[in-house]
Amino acid sequence: MSNNLDVVLPTEGLWRGTETQGIEDFTINLDPSAASTLEQAAIRLASQEGEVTDATQHDLPLDELEETIEKVRNEILEGTGMVLLKGFPVDRLSSREIAFFFWGIGLGLGTAVSQSVMGEKLGHVIDTTDIDPHARAYRNRTELTPHTDPSDILAFLCIYPGATGGISHFVSSLTIYEEISKNNPEVLEVLQRGFHYHRFGEQEPDCPDITPWRIPVFSVNQGKLSCRYVKEFIEIAADENPQAVLSTEEKEALEIFETTAQREDLRVTFTLQPGELILANNYTVLHARTAFTNHPERKRELLRLWLTTQPTRLVVKEIFIYERAYNGGEHGIVPQPGQKPSFASRFDQRNLLDK
């Protein structure tokens, strides 16, 4: 395997934070008039029985908003890879109404997939560490370092911000690749070979905790460079499985990738405000978040979607963490009734081993 993949990096996706005006350069505003049809449909559906995720595009027509959503979709898939969509009417709609409105936007961009073993396709991002100290990342308030999610597009809609912290950092993985190619090309082969990932019990039944295959940080299919990176999953796999132990060379490659991804000159930093939706291409953009605190009267609250697009991006199968997607099936995490997205059982097992 050569150090440099046979790929031409698209200019639009090679952005650097210091060369932009910040998140404003990625912002598109919702026109209230164009969004009125969707808003009225959301209000109507919210007054009826039924699950939000059962609603279809017929139920939630975009109408005049369709042109804007297509522009957003093209920017995410073929442009910078990231859009901040502003103007969601969270101030005048109920929680259920805004959920339908958000779901309608998602339907215009792709197909929602399961985000955890609970099987939720419309995710609720809120701190639950008061009842589960080991809740998975999107359900706790600790820092999240740069990573990607297992879908084509991620979408976070801010309903209520935290009291402090919760600052988002987004960075182009294409720019990271370009920087490493120039400054540390010797580690690219290691990153392309990839690493085993720990799946924390969220894999399909009868599948191992750690991926049997290596997941490449960088890979290419039909000329398009894609990235997959979750530092914690790699490190825990190395801690728990002798076959996944990291060599000195691999540790160096990960450190270089992590340091590059955290560079202040490369990333765009912002704090989501109520009514703002951040969307990003999981294969070309990494996202992170600082730790946060909640207001005494109300917790920080976001809604989340993981979306696959049609057609979906062509990627190598080794980029997938779970067997179903690896074998050509649906993306996301397979629902497992009765399970929770928590690492408590793993910590309990470790504590027993330590005694």
User: Among residues 296, 198, 291, which one has the least CA distance to residue 244?
Assistant: 198
Distance (Å, whole) CA 105 – CA 51: 16
The two three-digit tokens of residue 169, written as one number:
């950092």
Distance (Å, whole) CA 28 – CA 134: 36
Q: Which residue has the tokens 């930093």?
A: 269
Distance (Å, whole) CA 325 – CA 321: 8
* pLDDT above 50 (res 285): yes
The two three-digit tokens of residue 122, written as one number:
């419309």
Average pLDDT over the chain reads 92
pLDDT tens digits along 287-318? 999 999 999 999 999 999 999 999 999 999 99
What are the DSSP E strand ranges found in 213-295?
218-221, 224-227, 268-270, 276-281, 285-289, 292-293
The two three-digit tokens of residue 79, written as one number:
């442009």
**What pLDDT shows up at residue 136?**
60
Bond from prior residue into 311 cis (ω within 30 degrees of 0): yes
* pLDDT above 60 (res 346): no
**What pLDDT shows up at residue 139?**
64
Distance (Å, whole) CA 253 – CA 232: 15
pLDDT tens digits along 176-221? 999 999 999 999 999 999 999 999 889 999 999 999 999 999 999 9
Distance (Å, whole) CA 177 – CA 158: 30
Q: Model confidence at 173, in pLDDT bands (50, 70, 90)?
A: very high
Per domain, the residue ranges of the chain are 21-354
Distance (Å, whole) CA 81 – CA 167: 19
User: Among residues 219, 212, 206, which one has the least CA distance to residue 237?
Assistant: 212
Helices and strands (H and E) in the chain: how many: 9, 15
Report, as an integer, the average pLDDT of 18-33.
97
Q: What is the pTM of this model?
A: 0.92
* pLDDT above 60 (res 30): yes
Give the other-Cβ count within 10 Å of 308's Cβ: 20
Distance (Å, whole) CA 291 – CA 159: 18
Q: Model confidence at 94, in pLDDT bands (50, 70, 90)?
A: very high
Q: For residue 215, list its beta bridge partners.
A: 195
Percent pLDDT > 70 in the chain is 92
Q: Which residue has the tokens 């990176």?
A: 229
The two three-digit tokens of residue 253, written as one number:
């490659």
Give the other-Cβ count within 10 Å of 37's Cβ: 17
User: Among residues 205, 254, 263, which one has the least CA distance to residue 232?
Assistant: 254
Higher pLDDT, 73 or 140: 73
**What pLDDT shows up at residue 128?**
80
Query: CB-side exposure of 211: number of CA atoms within 13 Å?
Result: 24
* pLDDT above 50 (res 350): no
pLDDT tens digits along 53-90? 999 999 999 999 999 999 999 999 999 999 999 999 99
Measured between its terminal Cα atoms, the distance across the chain in Å is 45
* pLDDT above 60 (res 112): yes
**What pLDDT shows up at residue 355?**
29
Q: For residue 201, which phi and psi values (nearest 5 degrees)?
A: 80, 5
CATH architecture of 21-354: 4-Layer Sandwich (3.60)
**What pLDDT shows up at residue 140?**
80
Q: Which helix (H) or strand (E) holds 104?
A: helix 95-109
HEC secondary structure over 2-69? CCCCCCCCCHHHCCCHHHCCHHHHHEEECCCCCCHHHHHHHHHHHCCCCCHHHCCCCCCCCHHHHHHH
